[in-house]
Amino acid sequence: MTHRTWIAALSLALIAGSAGTALSNSFGERTDEADWRLVHTESRFVTDEDRIVTTLHDKGVLMERDLDARTITIRRADDIVLTLAVLDRTRISRNGDTVSLSKLERGDIVKLFRIEREGDARPRLLKVSAWEHGASYGDHH
């Protein structure tokens, strides 16, 4: 088996907040201009089989959960709305406890982790982490 180095491309979506908190970027530069909230990351890898695999992280507010269709809809701080299917193997937690989809509530702060594989029709939603509305932002970065 030949060893291949994974190639990663990183895409970030950041939203500026109102507080003047320092931030360091990947180049070690600091900015004191704004408080930044990460709302989306995307990393793309090339596997040993030359397939493209993309990992995606999104954070937003739970707008809706449809128990019949097994979907969740979130709105990110950059106003992007995502609706994703919840699979049987999707891990769901709320306030640190493992729960079912029915325990998520509108207004919860939600982080999603999913994987898209080249050639697959739909993403694999692997993890949903939620916190009740009003929980401290620092509790769930």
CATH number for the domain including 45?
2.40.50.320
| Sign of the four-CA dihedral 55, 80, 78, 98 | negative
Give the N- to C-terminal CA distance of the chain in Å, as an integer: 38
- Residue 111 belongs to what domain range? 9-140
Tokens of residue 140, six digits: 């769930």
In this structure, is residue 124 part of a structural domain? yes
Task: Count CB atoms within 10 A of the CB of residue 23.
Answer: 14
Q: For residues 62 and 135, which has the higher predicted lDDT (pLDDT)?
A: 62
Domain tally for the chain?
1
Question: What is the tens place of the pLDDT at every residue in 26-56?
Answer: 445 555 555 567 888 899 999 888 889 898 9
How many whole angstroms separate alpha carbon 91 and alpha carbon 70? 13
pLDDT (0 to 100) of residue 120 = 77
